Amino acid sequence: MEIEEAREVRTTCPYCGVGCGVLAKVAADGQVSVRGDPDHPANFGRLCSKGSALAETIDLDGRLLHPEIHGRRAGWNEALDLVASTFSQTIAEHGPDAVAFYVSGQLLTEDYYVANKLMKGFVGSANIDTNSRLCMASSVAGHRRAFGSDTVPGTYEDLELADLIVLVGSNLAWCHPVLYQRIAAAREKRPEIKIVLVDPRRTMTADIADMHLAIAPDGDVALFTGLLAWLGQHNALNRAYITAHTTGFGQALFAASALDLAGVAAATGLSEDELGRFYSLFAATPKTVTVYSQGVNQSSSGTDKVNAIINCHLATGRIGRPGTGPFSVTGQPNAMGGREVGGMANMLAAHMEIENPEHRDRVQRFWNAPAVARKPGLKAVEMFQAVADGRIKALWIMATNPVDSMPDADAVEAAIKACPFVVVSDVLARTDTVRHAHVRLPAAAWGEKDGTVTNSERRISRQRVFLAVPGEARPDWRIIAEVGKRMGFGAAFAHETPAEVFAEHAALSGFENDGARDFDIGAYAGIDGEDYDALVPFQWPAPKPAEGAQAAGGSSSSRFFADGNFYTSDRKARFIAIRPTTEIRTSPDFPLILNTGRVRDHWHTMTRTGKSPRLSQHIAEPFVEIHPADAARQGIGDADIVRVSSLRGEVLVRALVTPRQRQGSLFAPMHWTDQFAATGRLDTLTAPLTDPVSGQPALKHVAARVETFAAKAFGFAVTRQKPASIAAPYWAAARCRGGWRVELAFADDDIDWAGFAASLFGAPPGGDTLAYHDRDAGQHRIAAFDGDQLSGALFVAPGPVAVSRGWAAEQLDVTHAGQRQRFRIVAGRAGADRPDAGAIVCSCFSVGANQIAAAVAGGCTSVEAIGGTLKAGTNCGSCRAEIRTIIQANRVQAAE
């Protein structure tokens, strides 16, 4: 399509499930800028740090631009023919279950719909699973057990209308920042809103909480069954709702009563007093929303956690009414859309069930399909095990990076390497997964393709094109449809546009529905290209209006289940009888529990956020949080390099010693890969242990140990080019404005540092190299110049290198004409005359922790005052919680 210049295009953020509206503009010189869409009902103009930095992540650096077969460039015809013929042949020889698709909640609904249709309707297998298995599966299973359908009952507005918000296993401040800001803003207006955070760690989200329950890992089932029992004992039930709209309450209450309060205290690690305060608050607050995400879902008891929470809401009738409800917030931009198209191995399309012959028959007729899959397919962990043992012989991975994100990642990598035929569709030419593909297919990225996504509150929004498609990249749905055609299913994959795919998906949702199924967007079944282009965000359900009724469109505040009408056979919700169980995974060899998750400014395997200098400066290295007592026991100091290991693998990361971490537990982020660190792939440590109901892996609870890595030398380098390889046992590379910054550690100090520096940033011919060596003190500094530009500088010391990171990185960005200026780089106190900004807190304005601390000392004692002086926190606001924490810490220090 023609791209008009300097026109703002309305689209949707490709990161988290909040689903914020974005206005993207391409200036005449090609510069892209983004801002929040003031009219989008998810964000009303706000964007978080990741959303604000989107323009920094869309360059073509590292893009896969042409199809490749066995590493050589190939034409689309050749590549698609090879994929189609290999899949067809494998199916002919070994049956449909010998092939599989592993897809992603980052596909658009149209992509996902076509992939699911091809596998379930035309290949005739249900071996299509998705990274949503690692993300949402327990919530889906919990919803289906309780409601008979995978329905999220509430809306974002409920978070503003609630009087109590319980956040369970959810680091909203960092992972759903705009929702967090909506809650913070609501609380400014109504300070009586109470917030309880249930998380083993004191995360930044605790900043907003009235009560932080530092629960023992996986103590949640005990906490919420304990709550149900307590509600029963304290006459805090909604008997009318229970009788009219639910079944199974008696058994659920009986099971929940297995533990007395002392038992719950023991299982949760919380005091009876804390429990009593939380339970009374819950009992006394009719308008309660319980928000939950990965601390709940990613557990071997994930589905039980979900149902233990839902049970409490059903028992109090707190569902479907304004300001109430259990609320599973989704992680990926289209986790919900993937569920709607049935893109998981145990679902059929449009929220229909694979086990239900009527549903199968309906979908088969609608698709005019030869063979709809008759049984659920393999779930992610089982799928890769089947790849490993040879049952799956052809695998197509789309928009996900399982070599980094699946549990037991080394085994997953080995399985992929051993698989006879692996296709990967991705936007990048090099990821830890793409490197093993026999066929690489270049996908169009965000901004280059049209489609829809559904956010956590069931709101469907358009992603729109504002950039030209580079090279030969194609949108995912088109790639899949082309393969479908070449496998002989031309009629079913004849769509010309994403609008046609969406219309078909909408038609299926309304097909023979009549209110029997929750997911119905039949109102859009006849949508044409023009209306699709103009589509404004709407919430489902949006059934086809009856004759003579008003035109299409979801309402702005649709909710489910206030008056029952669940999607079970008797239309009543089911209480699930749940007994808390405790499982001890630690052992003398692995005495700690490793908990894993996310940081504020990185997204998953860093394929996009890793490109942004702004986002890479917040946290530039993989790290592990350790409680001071655990660190002391191991002789671990803050900023040491440590080895974290489990039965399956090990990583080297920086130690962050902090009392915010629970004693006995470690926390490490999932983001670092072989592209950004020496040995940072955290999922090499996690186990393929899954929830028995949902198949979701227990990624938050792995037995581990931590010990110091005996580093003899530490290094820090800035380089203009990313080093091709780095000969150090520990390194972590992060983008900075003029190039890259690299943290280093060595087991040995007997190293030819000049040679090492040359291997990092080269010694430009005719260039100038300056060096300073103090062998006795173990101090070495080397800088190389190409003309008057710095090609790289290396700083080596026997302990963590004390050079201002910001200053060093800036040297890549300025010219070095004079010799004196050059010498400053290798002089003793590099950058010491310029105050070190410290770790960057505000990525929008590059304001560091030290600057904020200095401003506090200078009398700025509120987030607003800091904003007034330093601008920190005044753009996206994602760092406001951290600023408040720094203010508190420094005021305490001043008072001491």
Ligand X SMILES: Nc1nc2c(c(=O)[nH]1)N[C@H]1C(S)=C(S)[C@@H](COP(=O)(O)OP(=O)(O)OC[C@H]3O[C@@H](n4cnc5c(=O)[nH]c(N)nc54)[C@H](O)[C@@H]3O)O[C@H]1N2
Q: Which residues are near ligand X by CB under 6 A?
A: 16, 104, 106, 131, 134-135, 168-171, 174-175, 198-201, 203, 215, 217-218, 220, 293-295, 298-299, 331-332, 398-402, 404-405, 425-428, 431, 443, 445, 476, 595-598, 600, 602-605, 607, 667, 670, 682-683, 686, 699-700
19 sits near ligand SF4 (criterion: CB under 6 A)? yes
- CA torsion 65-70-74-75 (nearest 10°) is -90
Question: Is the distance from CB of 273 to CB of 280 less than 8 angstroms?
Answer: no
Q: How far is the CB of 280 from ligand SF4 (least distance, A)?
A: 33
Q: Are 455 and 336 in contact (CB under 8 A)?
A: yes
The interface region with ligand SF4, picked from 9-17, 272-280, 373-381, 544-552 by CB under 6 A, is: 9-17
Q: Which residues contact 372 (CB under 8 A, 6 or more apart)?
A: 120, 121, 124, 348, 360, 363, 364
Residue 51 binds: one of ligand SF4, Mo ion, ligand X, none (C-beta under 5 to 8 A by kind): ligand SF4
| Phi, psi dihedral angles at 663 (to 5 degrees) | -65, 140
Q: Does residue 178 interact with ligand SF4 by CB under 6 A?
A: yes
- Say whether residue 135 binds Mo ion (CB under 5 A): yes
Q: Which is nearer to ligand SF4, 45 or 729 (CB)?
A: 45
Count of CB atoms within 10 A of residue 272's CB? 13
Residue with tokens 């990642």: 409
Question: Using the rule CB under 6 A, is 15 a contact of ligand SF4?
Answer: yes
Q: How many residues bind Mo ion (CB under 5 A)?
A: 2
Among the listed ranges 119-127, 141-149, 324-332, 813-821, the one in contact with Mo ion (CB under 5 A) is: 324-332
Continuous segment of H or E residues that includes residue 8: strand 8-12
Q: Give, as ranges, the residues between 183 and 222 that touch ligand SF4 (CB under 6 A).
A: none
Q: What are all long-range contacts of 265-271, with beta carbons under 8 Å and residues at least 24 apart? A: 267/216, 267/219, 267/222, 267/580, 267/582, 268/213, 268/215, 268/216, 268/219, 268/222, 268/223, 268/226, 269/214, 269/215, 269/216, 269/219, 270/213, 270/214, 270/215, 270/216, 270/219, 270/223
Distance of closest approach, residue 8 Cβ to ligand X, in angstroms: 22
Q: How far apart are CA 151 and CA 144, in angstroms?
A: 8
Closest CB to ligand X among residues 295, 498:
295
Q: How far is the CB of 331 from Mo ion (least distance, A)?
A: 3
The residue among 369 and 693 lying less far from ligand X, judged by its C-beta, is 693
Whole-number Å distance between alpha carbons of 394 and 882: 47
Please tell me what DSSP assigns to residue 388: H
Examine residue 460 and tell whether it contacts ligand SF4 (CB under 6 A): no
Give, rounded to a whole angstrom, the gap between the first and last alpha carbons of the chain: 64
**Which lies closer to Mo ion via its Cβ, residue 219 or residue 697?**
697
Rg (CA), the chain: 27
**Cα distance between residue 154 and residue 559, in whole Å:** 5
Q: Which is nearer to ligand SF4, 332 or 513 (CB)?
A: 332
**Angle at CA 246, nearest 5°, toward 241 and 247?**
140
Q: Is the CB of residue 678 less than 8 Å from the CB of residue 729?
A: yes
Nearest CB to ligand SF4, comparing residues 155 and 299: 155
Taking the complex as a whole, the smallest distance from the CB of residue 16 to Mo ion amounts, in Å, to 9
Residue 135 or 644: the one with the smaller Cβ distance to Mo ion is: 135
Task: Pick the piece of the chain touching ligand SF4 (CB under 6 A) from 170-178, 251-259, 488-496, 587-595.
Answer: 170-178
Which residue's C-beta sits nearest to ligand SF4?
51
18 interacts with, out of ligand SF4, ligand X, Mo ion, none, CB within 5 to 8 A per kind: ligand SF4
The stretch near ligand SF4 (CB under 6 A) out of 15-23, 100-108, 324-332, 667-675 is 15-23
Nearer residue to ligand X within complex by CB, 218 or 353: 218
- Binder of ligand SF4 out of 34, 47, 481, 636 (CB under 6 A): 47
Q: Which helix (H) or strand (E) holds 746?
A: strand 739-746
| Nearest CA-CA partner of 515 in 686, 351, 684, 339 | 351
| Residue of the chain from 9, 10, 18, 523 that contacts ligand SF4 (CB under 6 A) | 18
CA 544 to chain CA mean position, Å = 34
682 binds, among Mo ion, ligand SF4, ligand X, none (CB under 5 to 8 A by kind): ligand X
Among 41, 51, 442, 838, binds ligand SF4 (CB under 6 A): 51
Nearest-approach distance from CB 887 to Mo ion, in angstroms: 32
**Residue 135 or 424 having the CB closest to Mo ion:** 135
Smallest distance, Mo ion to C-beta of residue 116, A? 19
Rounded Cα distance, 132 and 297, in Å: 11
* Integer Cα distance of 663 and 592 in angstroms: 9
Residue 855's binding partner out of ligand SF4, Mo ion, ligand X, none, with CB under 5 to 8 Å set by partner kind? none
- Identify what 399 binds: Mo ion, ligand X, ligand SF4, none; CB under 5 to 8 Å per kind: ligand X
Pairwise CA distance, residues 2 & 597, whole Å: 41
Judged by beta carbon distances under 5 to 8 A according to partner kind, the member of ligand X, ligand SF4, Mo ion, none in contact with residue 580 is none
Residue 72 burial by Cβ neighbours in a 10 Å radius (0-12, 13-18, 19+): exposed
The C-alpha angle 572, 575, 580, rounded to 5 degrees, equals: 170
C-alpha span between 750 and 759 (Å, rounded): 16
Question: Closest approach of Cβ 54 to Mo ion, in Å?
Answer: 19
**Interface with ligand SF4 includes 105 (CB under 6 A)?**
no
Tell the smallest beta-carbon distance from residue 4 to ligand X (Å): 23
Closest CA to 188 of 196, 198, 180: 180
Name which of 169 and 331 has its Cβ closer to Mo ion: 331
Shortest gap between Cβ of 540 and ligand X (angstroms)?
A: 21
Q: Measure Cα distances from 767 to 15, 155, 725, 810 in Å.
A: 43, 61, 22, 20
> Does position 402 bind Mo ion by CB under 5 A?
no
Q: State the Cα–Cα distance between residues 767 and 37, nearest whole angstrom.
A: 49
Strands (E) in 598-729, as ranges, are 623-626, 641-645, 650-657, 665-669, 702-708, 713-719
Rounded distance between C-alpha atoms, residue 698 and residue 702, angstroms: 8
Which amino acid is it at 838? G
- Measured from the CB of residue 461, what is the shortest distance to ligand SF4 in angstroms? 10
Tell the smallest beta-carbon distance from residue 338 to ligand X (Å).
11
- Judge residue 836's burial from the number of C-beta atoms within 10 Å of its C-beta, 0-12 exposed, 13-18 middle, 19 or more buried: middle
Which listed option, Mo ion, ligand SF4, ligand X, none, makes contact with residue 443 (CB within 5 to 8 Å by class)? ligand X
- Say how many C-beta atoms besides its own lie within 10 A of residue 534's C-beta: 10
**Shortest CB 442 distance to ligand X, Å:** 9
Q: Near Mo ion by CB under 5 A, which window of 112-120, 127-135, 606-614, 797-805? A: 127-135
Nearest-approach distance from CB 737 to ligand X, in angstroms: 21
# chain residues binding ligand SF4, by CB under 6 A: 14
Query: Considering only residues 23, 26, 37, 50, which one is a binding residue for ligand SF4 as defined by CB under 6 A?
Result: 50
Binding partner at 43 among ligand SF4, Mo ion, ligand X, none, C-beta below 5 to 8 Å by kind: ligand SF4
Cβ 884 to ligand X shortest distance, Å? 18
**If binding is defined by CB under 6 A, does position 16 make contact with ligand SF4?**
yes
The site partner of 341 among Mo ion, ligand X, ligand SF4, none (C-beta below 5 to 8 Å per kind) is: none
For residue 728, give both structure tokens. 């150090």
Closest separation between CB of residue 856 and ligand X, Å?
26
Residues forming contacts to ligand SF4 in the complex (CB under 6 A) are: 13, 15-16, 18-20, 43, 47-48, 50-51, 176-178
Residues forming contacts to Mo ion in the complex (CB under 5 A) are: 135, 331
